[in-house]
Structure 1
């Protein structure tokens, strides 16, 4: 397996440069968890992963430690590491947090976004309508993270990155519920409100969007 760069290890976009080997392994493993290549409940160990990546155990051990601290895996003493299963409570918690932070980010972005930034948001929405499942999800993730970047909030960017990636995993678990036309319209309307400088409208649209996404994913997860 060849290591490829798939993320920024939680770093602010302008600070992303060359990643260490540990960060590369961390990003690659996290991407595999999100895409279900490492399924919920799977048990992995350092030796097998090191062999698969073609690296020593040290960067793998360090990357697994980071994944454990960020909640993606759990340590199983003398057995390895468990990919954390997904429960209905996870869905509820994720969206409870997102409801608290993302409407405020949308409101702030409406006051600070340049025309170029708004154009970027609209391009991301266009990418979300593509037929490639993974790329559409990545574009949706980038849309939400771009709002945090436009708002200039580094800490919320880092927090939101993990939240959105966890929701991505939920979408992979329920591919029938990914990026409905309603979700695409919501993103486009949010971008339009930000472009018009309508902060209250952008915040309300974001809250409505998150509520609808939460209802859809919760219903699907519960087997409704």
Structure 2
């Protein structure tokens, strides 16, 4: 008996990259987006000022404090936090729409936001933390970026201690001492997580159908063998 094959589906996942400022998560995020058409970036809202290299609606949605407060009060944010004196948050609706449609969403956020998402949607999140090879190298990267004052760099280094202390909250840890190797590792994690058994809907029915079909084929072969034997 021929049956219609069962179509396997998958709910999207939230792929989180976190790191202290300057450790390389944003560079890895850009590389992932360039290399993977099945991944889309979750664009956060923030109350901090836009840097010269940033575009509104591409890197962040830049909003004022009253607007941010209204979003929090309405429950429009999946997560939010105050970092270095400014507020950041993730709009809930576009993320849920993507996951329901089977699309994967990339997050470039800190440990506080990651913890909130993990509490709300624990089965949909994959957490990757990126570490610098040394703190001296982290400082050098912040200086080479040439976008922050010396005082801001000092605050970011101080904040990085608190962030690094949260490493055990994450599923995977990558030391970014070689960007190419770090990217290969991050991409491998994403591929493996997409293939996890529990993320695929309809898999149990699909396997059951395979087994039923296999048993039917065995029965057919046995019947054919019996017919040949009786004819001789």
* TM-score normalised by L of structure 1: 0.25
Structure with max Cα Rg = 2
Comparing both structures, which one devotes a greater share of its residues to helix?
Answer: 1
Comparing both structures, which one devotes a greater share of its residues to strand?
Answer: 2
* TM-score normalised by L of structure 2: 0.25
Using CA pairs below 8 Å that are at least 6 residues apart, which structure has the higher relative contact order? Answer: 2
